[in-house]
Amino acid sequence: MSGTPTLDDLRRHAVARSLFAPTTLIRAAEQLGGFVQADPLRAPARAQDLTLRHRVKGYTAGDLERRYPRLPLQEDFFINYGFVTPELRALMHPRSAHRVWDKARLKLAQAVLAEVERLGEAHPAEVDAALGHGAVKNWFGGNSRLSTELLDGLHYRGHLDVVRRDSGTRVYRLAAPWTPPPDPQAAMDAMADALVQKYAPLPAAGLTQLIAMLFHAAHQWADLRKPTLARAKARLAHAKVEGVDWYWPADEDPRRGWRIPAKVRLLAPFDPVVWDRRRFELLWGWAYRFEAYTPAAKRVRGHYALPLLWRDQVIGWGNLKVVGGQLQHELGFVNKRPREREFAEALDAELAALRGFLGLDAA
């Protein structure tokens, strides 16, 4: 099929390629570029669970954390914090950090590593009790334990793996030694491809932003970001649509006639369908913002408003919470609520699916 796609084509492409048929958890993670973004807020479930529930057969809230010790996934930083496949993680390590430790801090970090090795599996409280490092100011102005900060830094640098979480707290063990990728540029290209796989089709500004964010994934190759962007643009399919340059994988065609089911889906704020706010406004014509950290008086849509997708249109948002074992919802719409019976039935089906996902049907 030849010709320039329309904005409608790009919108259907964005929805259909990301909201693929539900599969296994690992295959879903692979189809999401090898990366599932995580967030600790639970409203009514964590972002990673809200993302996976649309893409994993029979998924229920907390499945990822429960199954994590048996899965070939690791918590790590990519462009954000989340869960990555071994293949993607191997592209990033051994990783340097923007903040270089001085000799005194490095000595403390080495003591933490030795304590983790002695314990085998180390909870931050155990490390702190053994070393007594005390408290320090963290990056957002509060207090945290120095041992915890050092554990975070060692994990980011690839010296530690997360074994599991105990009541939400990461438990660590020593990571195996890393073999550096033989070709840094090829590794950067592969990471760029992972981002495109997850977030395409992308406007040029979105693609540029994502490649810049590889600074977090591989700080040691920060000087390769510009050539990585140029190489990505050269190998991706491209078209100018309504004055904006768009990019997507060369083996995909936005004009192929993607089938979009008549479904309502309440999406996580970080779902790949809605993650790129520039793209969101281009595809759906209104501005969605994540307001959990916005003062309550200044919120427009709500603390944890979930974008509401109807077919291929994001027509509003929903704020959900569980009260007394019951799921409560409050919906808002950009224009008017659809009046057709098909929408009402699809909305009821989505709310029922959410109750099952949250385990409320059995309560």
**The domain spanning residue 107 has which CATH number?**
1.10.10
Mean pLDDT score across all residues of the chain: 94
Q: Which residue has the tokens 């089906």?
A: 349
Last residue of a domain, one of 123, 147, 174: 174
Question: Residue 140 — pLDDT band, cuts 50, 70, 90?
Answer: very low
Contacts of 7 (CB under 8 A, 6+ apart): 241, 242, 282, 283
Q: Once rounded to an integer, what is the mean pLDDT over residues 149-162?
A: 96
Within 8 A by CB and 6+ apart from 157, the residues are: 94, 95, 96, 97
- Between 129-138, 157-166, 169-178, 345-354, the lowest mean confidence (pLDDT) is in 129-138
Q: Is residue 352 part of a domain?
A: yes
- Asked if the structure places residue 192 within a domain, the reply is no
pLDDT tens readout for residues 233-272:
999 999 999 999 999 999 999 998 888 999 999 999 999 9
The whole-angstrom separation of Cα 89 and Cα 77 is 9
Q: Which of 142, 174, 206 is the last residue of a domain?
A: 174
Considering all CA atoms of the chain, what is the largest pairwise distance in Å, rounded to the nearest integer? Answer: 67
Give residue 137's pLDDT band: very low, low, confident or very high (50, 70, 90). low
Closest CA relative to residue 266, chosen from 362, 361, 357, 359: 357
For the ranges 98-107, 216-225, 340-349, 354-363, which has the lowest average pLDDT?
354-363
Q: What is the DSSP letter of 181?
A: P
Question: Which pLDDT value is given to residue 145?
Answer: 81
Task: Identify the pLDDT of residue 29.
Answer: 98
Is residue 16 situated within a structural domain?
A: no
- Using the predicted structure, report yes or no on whether residue 354 has a pLDDT greater than 50: yes
Strand partners, 248: 237
| pLDDT of 277 above 80 | yes
| Residue after which a domain boundary falls, among 174, 198, 214 | 174
**pLDDT tens digits, residue range 181-236?**
999 999 999 999 999 999 999 999 999 999 999 999 999 999 999 999 999 999 99
Residues 186-219 as b or e (16 or more Cβ within 10 Å = b): ebbbbbbbbbbbbbbbbbbebbbbbbeebebbbb
What is the pLDDT, as a whole number, of residue 141? 54
**What total of structural domains would you count in the chain?**
2
Query: Residue 155: is its pLDDT beyond 60?
Result: yes
Tokens 């592969």 correspond to: 190
Q: Check pLDDT > 60 for residue 346.
A: yes
- Looking at residue 361, the DSSP 8-state letter turns out to be T
* Average pLDDT over every residue of 127-154: 76
Percent of the residues in the chain that have a pLDDT greater than 70, as a whole number: 96
Question: pLDDT category, 363, cuts 50, 70, 90?
Answer: very low
The verdict on residue 196 lying in a domain is no
Structural domain that includes position 347: 264-357
How far is CA 206 from each of CA 51, 88, 160, 211, 319, rounded to the nearest angstrom? 20, 21, 32, 9, 27
Lowest mean pLDDT among 98-107, 192-201, 303-312: 98-107
Task: Please indicate, yes or no, if residue 113 is contained in any of the structural domains.
Answer: yes
Q: Supply the pLDDT for residue 43.
A: 93
pLDDT above 60: residue 139: no
Residue 218 is assigned to a structural domain of this protein = no
Query: What pLDDT score does 284 carry?
Result: 98
Q: Contact at 8 Å (CB) between 123 and 165?
A: no
Tokens of 191: 């990471």
* Beta carbons within 10 angstroms of residue 227's beta carbon: 13
| Six token digits for residue 71 | 């899965």
Top-confidence residue, 180 or 3: 180
- Domain assignment present for 227: no
The answer to whether position 309 is within a domain reads yes
User: pLDDT (tens digit, 9 = 90+) per residue, 278-303?
Assistant: 999 999 999 999 999 999 999 999 99
